[in-house]
Structure 1
Amino acid sequence: MSTERIRLHSVTDLRFPLRFRFVLAVISISLIGCHAGGPSDDAPNPTTAPADLADRVRDYASALHEDAPYRPPNDTQRQAFTESLTRLGATPSAADDELRSLGLAVARGVDERTGRPYAIAATEPDAEQGWGLYLVDLGHSARLAVQVPHPANDLRTADIGLELFRRVPGAVLAVAGTHRRVAAGAGDVAHRADSMFHALAERHSRDHLPQVQLHGFDDASLDSADLVLSPGATARTPRIEEIADGLDRSLRVCRAWTRDCGELEGRHNRQGGAAAEHGAFFAHVEINRTTRDSPTGRDDVVRVLAEALDGG
């Protein structure tokens, strides 16, 4: 087993382009899974430690470019994807095979930070099928959806999303697989309903799973606030008030339901619209660059969100 682990870590040090580093890491994890009994084992063996999740998510986000090709999935593919992803814990072998047939690489492991088993499914960065990266906690039933629609544009939102995933057992992390300007905006999943990202969000809304969507803005866009909090198209709730109160202790929060927060309120966000239609909780969180660049600022945001949303 030590040979496979050494090989896995060495992959991340090779001087390949980021998109190939990601694919090589997934292949290495798959080989380790086969050695330990196969990637579809119900309980992944803790000794088959995967590559660090933070590196994988960060590399994925940084490999996305606006000149990449992009083809949105069709209705059949979106339905197959959501059904398979939500069954990763219940019917692992069948779910893995279905996701792979759709063109996603699938791997399973145990997060070295939390000790919780997970599954990760992802398309190749910058591929025509730029359908995203999805991380599912297999140790608990789903209780929170964390969404990162613009990982290449809103810097560090993918990092914040992963930290929130780790803080809340039962979280599902969705990271878009495109730059927001791909194909004249066709890859901007926050404003499109024809993506895998949106299909999963809609499924979560139907299941009444709370959703948090993370965005970023330049400080100059709203210099009076560090963070804009909005329910998007959904109604204001005591829970979003609780989040605002918690964030207010360390950050300047613009509450979109009490005052104008510029063009940062996410009123036309498609995932927020789906949440409103099904009566699900949705929080649109816009974070300025200074806060995203600060380890303390990022931790404050994650801590407050986790405290308010852990448990659904």
Structure 2
Amino acid sequence: MTVPMEGAAIRSVVDPGRRGLLVVAAAALLAPSGCAAGRRPADPPPTVDPESLIGEVMAGLSPTGPYRDPDAGEQRQARDAAGSLLDPDDRAGQERAFGGLGFRFGYGVDPVTDRPTTALAADGSDDRTWGVVLVDRSAPVRRVIEVPHPGFDINTELIGLDLYRRVPGSVLLMAGAHRRAADGAADVAHNDRSLFHLLAVEFARAGLAQVQVHGFADRNLRGAEAVVSTGSAARNALAERIADGLAGAGISPCRAWVQRCGQLEGTRNQQGRAAAELDAVFVHLELGWSVRRNAAGRDRAAAAIAPHLDA
């Protein structure tokens, strides 16, 4: 589905009775006064609401829900789709590439940031529960924020969206199925055949730094509220800055390049392994439940991380 840019003011809402983005359009009206004769005032830009879109996907998550990997043709199309996002103005290419992969297409303004946004969401047909991709078009694409386990790593989708909104020119890549769906095939962080992985690889190939957000139970690592690592990729300055930012905000990090972090280092993460092969920047970020459980903790973490993504 394409959200039109002209002729209507668009508002996105969630229809609780069915899956899908419900678009409500109001016809644009001429202003009653203050305009030159025969001149039509500019229509307000349409709105695409990432929060509603993510909430809709979250409502459909289930360990018994549908999922499948892309077939060979879809894999090729996914590579083209990732490439189209590197040109934020390639609206036709994005709509064509992602439309063929079962994604709906929205093109408008984020109501929170008031910045131009491209919003893509897989419709779930034919088990293609492939998630959400958001692109902030206010600046050149330069950072990718990844959420591989929405719903399972509770509230990581909220942190991912917050980081995306704080960093102009960022991409949010969120999985669309519960990690236990399809006997675990939907665990995209460990599945190198997933659409999520294919997009992440192309982003790494293009030189975009990736930050992947996970969560852990506090009991699994006493004495730390976060784990910052680079998975299989080389130690990098972005990971160091994020760890320092968290520490400065009073969130105690375990730095995986300094010490062991309770097997939370992400060394088996497939996106991290691909980044290592491509010599790309990858940060594997684990946040404890004490950080994720309430809005204040999530906001503190996002505020500590975002300046380093925007640097």
Q: TM-score, normalised by structure 2?
A: 0.85
Contact 2:50/2:119 (8 A) holds in 1? no
State the match for 2:68 in structure 1.
Answer: 71
Q: Match for 1:87: what amino acid? A: S
Matched, 1:49 2:56: no
Structure-2 change in CA distance of 1:74 and 1:243 (3 Å)? same
Q: Match for 1:108: what amino acid? A: Y
Query: Please, which runs of 5 or more residues in structure 1 have no aligned partner?
Result: 37-43
> Deviations for 1:47-76, whole angstroms, at most 9, x for unmatched residues?
3223x3223213322321111122210233
Distance 2:224 2:126 in 1: 37
Distance 1:104 1:189 in 2: 18
Contact 1:60/1:125 (8 A) holds in 2? no
Shift of 1:35: 8.3
Distance 1:99 1:220 in 2: 41
Q: Match for 2:260: what amino acid? A: D
1:84-95 superposed matches below 5 A: 84-88=81-85, 89-95=88-94
Contact 1:64/1:126 (8 A) holds in 2? no
> Deviations for 1:17-73, whole angstroms, at most 9, x for unmatched residues?
xxx25x042xx16x67x989xxxxxxx9643223x3223213322321111122210
Q: Match for 1:97: what amino acid? A: R
Q: Match for 1:255: what amino acid? A: R
Question: What secondary structure is seen at the aligned counterpart in 1 of 2:92?
Answer: helix
Greater helix fraction, Structure 1 or Structure 2: 1
State the match for 1:251 in structure 2.
Answer: 251
Matched, 1:80 2:80: no
Distance 2:61 2:150 in 1: 8
In the alignment of these two chains, the number of paired residues is: 291
Report sequence identity in percent. 38
Q: Match for 2:79: what amino acid? A: T
Q: Match for 2:279: what amino acid? A: G
Structure-2 change in CA distance of 1:125 and 1:228 (3 Å)? farther
Contact 2:144/2:211 (8 A) holds in 1? yes
Shift of 1:126: 8.5
Q: Match for 1:256: what amino acid? A: A
Q: Match for 1:287: what amino acid? A: L
State the match for 2:57 in structure 1.
Answer: 60
Question: What secondary structure is seen at the aligned counterpart in 2 of 1:272?
Answer: helix
Question: What secondary structure is seen at the aligned counterpart in 1 of 2:168?
Answer: coil
State the match for 2:141 in structure 1.
Answer: 142
What is the RMSD of the two structures over their aligned residues, measured on CA atoms?
Answer: 2.6
Q: TM-score, normalised by structure 1?
A: 0.85
State the match for 2:235 in structure 1.
Answer: 236
Distance 1:183 1:267 in 2: 23
Question: What secondary structure is seen at the aligned counterpart in 2 of 1:173?
Answer: strand
State the match for 2:221 in structure 1.
Answer: 222
Distance 1:186 1:144 in 2: 26
Greater strand fraction, Structure 1 or Structure 2: 2
Structure-2 change in CA distance of 1:24 and 1:203 (3 Å)? closer
Which deviates the most, 82-91 or 215-224?
82-91
Poorly superposed stretches of 4+, deviation over 4 Å: none
Q: Match for 1:306: what amino acid? A: A
Which deviates the most, 147-156 or 112-121?
112-121
1:33-182 superposed matches below 5 A: 46-50=44-48, 52-88=49-85, 89-124=88-123, 128-182=127-181
Query: Please, which runs of 5 or more residues in structure 2 have no aligned partner?
Result: 30-41
Question: What secondary structure is seen at the aligned counterpart in 2 of 1:241?
Answer: helix
Shift of 1:271: 0.3
Structure-2 change in CA distance of 1:135 and 1:35 (3 Å)? farther
Structure-2 change in CA distance of 1:209 and 1:94 (3 Å)? closer
Question: What secondary structure is seen at the aligned counterpart in 2 of 1:87?
Answer: helix
Which deviates the most, 224-233 or 90-99?
90-99
Distance 2:188 2:104 in 1: 20
